[in-house]
Structure 1
Amino acid sequence: MPSQKKGKIQNELNPRTTEYEFLGPPGAFLITFGVPLTVYALFFGCSESSGGCPPPLASIPERFTTALSDCAFWSNLWDTQAALIYLAWYAFCVVAWTILPGDWVEGVTMRTGEKKKYKINAFSTFLLALGLAVGYIYRNGPQSFTFLYEKWVGFVTASLVMSVAQGLAVYVGSFRKGALLALGGNSGNFIYDFYIGRELNPSIGSFDIKSFNELRPGLILWTLVNISMACEQTVRTGGVSDAMWLVLLFQGWYVADGLYNEPAILTTMDITTDGFGFMLSVGDLTWVPFVYSLQARFLVFRPVELGSGLYQYFDNESQIPRYLGVLSILFVNALGYWIFREANGEKNDFRNGKNPKNLQYFTTESGSKLLTTGWWGRSRHPNYFGDLVMALAWSLPTGFTTPVTYFYVVYFTVLLVHRQRRDEEACEKKYGKDWAKYKKMVPYRIIPYVY
C-alpha cells in the first residue's frame, strides 16, 4: 500500500503532457536539426572564406550547400584541439562554481512545496575568466587569443556534441524514481521530450545543471569570443575599430549585467516552467556564444569606422563626424538598457513587497497583484521592448551593407513574441476572467501603441 500511495502521488505531481508546443514532435524534430544547420549556415553564408556577407539573405542557403560539397568543410567539421579546449572551458566553469564563494538563494516554490537552493557566483566566475583572458593577452599578445576565430567551426561542433550529450543524459536520468518532471515535457514521445526537456531541475547533488548552463559556459564564452574577434582585427589592422569597441561594450555589459543580477533568473520561465533538454542545452551552449557574436565576427573581415561607412548605404558622398555615429548608437543602446533595467527593477521591487514609486496594481481573485502603472502599465512585457532596442543597437555598428548581421534582431523578435504568447497563455489559465480584465487595463503586449 505505501508504494501504491507513493506512485499515485508521483503521478499527480507528474501528469502526462497533453498539449504540444513547437508543432509537436514533427516541429521538435525539425528544430533539433534546424538549429545546428542554421549555426553552420550563418558561418558559411557570412564569413571570410565565402567572400563576406551577401546583400540578399536568399543566397545563404546556396553558399551553405556549396560548402557542404567541399571536402574542406568535412575536414574542418571536427577539430580535436578545439574540442579539448572547449571541454577544458566547460570544466573550468564547473570548478569555478565549486570553489568560488557565493550565496545560496532559494528559488520559487515548486509543485512539491519545496524551494530549491541555487549557488550565486556567476559574476565572480565571469570576472575570473575575464581577468585570466586579459592577462593572457597582455603577456602573449593579441595573436595568442585569435584561436576562437581560426577554429570557429571546430568549437561549434564541440559545443553541439556537449549539447546532445547533456540532452540525452538528462533525458535518461529523468526516469529515476522521485524525479520532478516539467509539466510540458512528459508526453511519452522521445523526440519531443528529448527536445523540450523532460525533467524540471536535473541536478547532481546541489549542482543544478539547468541554471548552471543558463548563465555560465555559453554566456561568458560569448564575451570571450568577442574579445577573440577584436584580437583578430588588431592583428590584421593594427587596432580595434570604433564599431568593434561598441559591440564589445554593449554585449559585454549585457552579459555582465545578467550575471551580476543572477538571482533574477530564478523567476524566469526557463527555470520555473521549462524542463532541461536539448532545446535549452543547445541554446545555452551553442546558439548564444556562436550566433550572438555574429556582429563581432563580421567586423573582423569587414571593419567599419563609424561616421563614414555607417552612412554609405544612404549616400556614398555623405560624410559626418565620427563621434555623431558613435553617439547615436550609444543613445539607442542606453535607451534600451534603461527601459530593460527600469522595467525589471519595478517588477523585482514589487515581487519583494516594495513599491518605492507608489505604482498602482490590480488584485486578482486569487490574491495575486498585477502592476497597472509605470512601465508595466505601458505594456505587459516592457522588459522585452528594452531587449529589442538593445538588440538593434548591437547590429547598427555593422552598417547597412548586409541584412545578415541583423539576423539577431529578427530572431530575437520572434523569440520574445513566442515567449510573450506562452506566458500569457499560462496567465490566462492561472487568473481566468481576471486576466481578461487586466488586458483591458494594459492592452499592449510588448511595444506601447504598436504591439
Structure 2
Amino acid sequence: MSRLNPKSTPSEFLGTPGTALLTVLVPSFLYILYFTCSEASGGCTPSVFDLPIRLVAAVQDPSWWISLWDTEATLAYLAWFAFTVVAWAVLPGDWVPGTELRNGEKKLYKINALPTFLGTMGLVAAVLLKKGPSALTYAYDHWVGLVTASVLFSFLQSLILYIASFRGDKLLALGGNSDSHIYNFWIGRELNPSIGSFDIKSFCELRPGLILWVLIDISMACEQAIRRGGWPTDSMILVVFFQTWYVFDALYNEAAIFTTMDITTDGFGFMLSVGDLAWVPFSYTLQARYLAFHPVELGWARTALIVAVALTGQYIFRVSNNEKNEFRNGKNPKNLSYMPTERGTKLLTSGWWGVSRHPNYMGDLLMGLAWCLPTGFDSPIPYFYFFYFAVLLAHRQYRDDEMCAHKYGKDWEKYKKLVPWKIIPNVY
C-alpha cells in the first residue's frame, strides 16, 4: 500500500500550528456563540467589543465549567446517535457505488437517509399531537450539555479512528499521511474508515448531525410557541421551513454526496467529525435559537422578499448540482458544451457551470442569507452563519482549484479562461 499512500506534507490550514489551533477553536466557538448570544447570557451582544468581557467573566467562574457537563443530555445524545445507526441498519435502501478509488475499487453505500428522516419526523409529529409543544423543548433547555456531548463524541470517534488507521493495509487520504500527528488527526488519515459495510464518514455526513439540525429547529419553534401561547412567529416558521427543506433536499439527493470532495478526497478526521456531529446542528440553528427568545414579526412584504431570495438560491443550487451529476454519469440532457482534457475527462463550460466554476456555492450562499434575514437587524450575531459560510466556501473553492490544477495541468489553465469567475460572476 505504500505506493498508494505516499507521504504528504502539512500544507493546509497553516500546517501543524493552524490545525492545532482549529482543533481547540472550532468546538470552543460553539460555546462562544451561546454565551454571547443567548437568553441565559443576557441576549445577543451588539458589539464585538463586549465579547472578551463576557468570555473572561465566564471562564473565571468555576460554576461555568461545571455547567458545561450534563449527564442526562449526554445520554440523550448517545441515544440519538444509536437510533440513527439502527435506522441505517434496519431500514431498506439501495446499495450504490461511489467513485473509483486509487486502488481501483468502488465502495458501496446504502441509500436510506431519507427514510430515516421521514421516520424521525413521523415520531416528532406523533409526540407533538399527543403531548403538545412542551414535550419538544428539550434541546433549548439542555443546549450546553448537548453541545458538550457532541464535541466529546466527535473527539473520541476521531481519536479511535486515527489509532485504527495504523492497523492493517488502509487506503489513506492523500493529504493525511504526514509526519505530524496533530495535522493528520485534524485533516483525517484514513480515507474511508468502515466497520464492515458501514461507512462511517458518509453516515456522519448525512444522518446524525443533519437530522438533529431539524430536530433542534423544531425544539426552538416549540419553545417560542409556548412563550407566545399559540403559534410561532412568521420569522420562525420561515427559518424552520427553509432549513428543513434544505435537509430534506440533501437527503433526497443522498447519492450526490458521493462525488463531493469530503467523500472522494478528504480523510475522516476531527475536521469532518466535529463539523458533521457538532458544528452543523449547533451552529446552523443559531437563527432559530435566537428567535426563540427574541421573536420577530416580518409581515407579508418582508416574508415574500425573503422567500424569493431562498427560492432563487435553492433553484441555482439544485439545478447546477443536477447538471454536474448527470454529466458525470454520462448524461447530457441539456446538450451542454464541454472542454475535453488530456486525461480523457471532460469539463463543463456551459449551463450554470459556464456562469462560474462553483455555481452551487452561489446558490448555497443565497439560501444562507435567506436563513439569516428573518432574524431582523437588532444584532449581527445571528448573521454569523452567512459570513462563516462565505469564508468556508471560498476556502473550499481554493482547495478545489489547487486539486484541479494538479489533476489537469495546462488544461485547467485553459478552462479558467473559459470560465473565469470562481463563485459569483462579476464579483468573485
User: Of residues 244, 247, 250 in structure 2, which corresponds to 1:255?
Assistant: 247
The aligned residue for residue 154 of structure 1 is: 145
CA deviations 1:202-247 (Å, max 9, x no partner) are 0000000000000000010000000000010011112200000000
| CA deviation after TM superposition for structure 1 residue 135, in Å | 1.0
Q: Report Cα offsets for 1:112-150 as digits up to 9, x if no partner.
A: 100000001001101111111121122111111111101
Contact 1:57 1:403 in 2 (8 A): no
The letter for the 1-side match of 2:35 is F
Deviations 1:61-97 (A, max 9, x none): 3222222223442232110000000000000000000
**TM-score of the pair, normalised by structure 2:** 0.98
Residue of structure 1 equivalent to 2:425: 448
Q: Which residue is equivalent to 1:290?
A: 282
Query: Would the aligned equivalents of 1:398 and 1:405 in 2 still touch at CA under 8 Å?
Result: yes
Matched, 1:91 2:68: no
Match of 1:57 in 2: 48
Q: Which has the larger radius of gyration?
A: 1
**Does residue 21 of structure 2 align to residue 30 of structure 1?**
yes
**Residue 113 (structure 2) pairs with residue 122 (structure 1):** yes
**Structure 1-normalised TM-score?**
0.93
- In 2, the alpha carbon distance for the partners of 1:369 and 1:299 equals 46
8 A Cα contact 2:10 2:16, kept in partner? no
* Contact 2:74 2:146 (C-alpha < 8 Å) held by counterparts: yes
Contact 1:46 1:54 in 2 (8 A): yes
Q: CA deviation at 1:19?
A: 4.5
Give the 3-state SS of the residue equivalent to 1:58 in structure 2: helix
After superposition, residues 348-427 of structure 1 pair within 5 angstroms as 348-427=325-404
Partner secondary structure for residue 355 of structure 1: coil
Give the stretch that moved more between structures: 234-243 or 53-62.
Answer: 53-62
Equivalences for residues 207-286 of structure 1 within 5 A? 207-238=198-229, 239-286=231-278
Give the conservation status (yes or no) of the 8 Å contact 2:9–2:179. no
Deviation at 1:183, TM superposition (A): 0.6
Contact 1:223-1:251 within 8 A present in 2 as well: yes
Conserved? CA contact 2:223–2:292, under 8 Å: yes
Whole-Å Cα distance in 1 between the matches of residues 215 and 243 of structure 2? 11
**C-alpha contact 2:236 2:288 (8 A) present in aligned 1:** yes
Aligned partners of 1:62 and 1:190: how far apart in 2?
35
- Residue 136, structure 1, aligned to residue 113, structure 2: no
SS, match of residue 45 in structure 2: coil
Partners of 2:195 and 2:355 lie apart in 1 by 42
For residues 243-297 of structure 1, give each alpha carbon's deviation from its aligned partner in whole angstroms, at most 9, with x where no partner exists: 0000001000000000110000000000000000111000001000000000000
Q: Match for 2:88: what amino acid? A: W
Q: Give the match's secondary structure for 1:17.
A: coil
Aligned-partner SS, 2:280: helix
SS for the counterpart of 1:106 is strand
Are the aligned partners of 2:10 and 2:183 in contact in 1 as well (CA < 8 Å)?
no
Indicate conservation of the 8 Å contact 1:42/1:60, yes or no: no
Are 2:50 and 1:73 equivalent residues in the alignment?
no
Contact 1:45–1:61 (8 Å) recurs in 2? no
Q: Does residue 184 of structure 1 match 2:140? A: no
Counterpart of 2:396 in structure 1: which amino acid?
R
Once the two structures are TM-superposed, the CA of residue 58 in structure 1 deviates from its matched residue by: 3.3
- Per-residue CA deviation, residues 396-431 of structure 1 (Å, 9 max, x unaligned), is 000011110110011101100000010011111111
Once residues 200 and 398 of structure 1 are traced to their aligned partners in structure 2, the CA distance between those partners, rounded to angstroms, is 39
Please give the alpha-carbon distance, in whole angstroms, between the structure 1 residues aligned to 2:288 and 2:393.
23
Deviations 1:143-165 (A, max 9, x none): 11111101100000000110011
CA offsets 1:98-123 (integer angstroms, 9 cap, x no match): 00000000000001100000001001
Asked whether the 8 Å contact 1:57–1:404 carries over to 2, the reply is: no
| Aligned partner (choices 339, 358, 374) of residue 316 of structure 2 | 339
Secondary structure in structure 2 of the residue aligned to 1:117: strand
Distance 1:273 1:325 in 2: 41
Identity %: 62
CA–CA distance in 1 between the matches of 2:12 and 2:304?
42
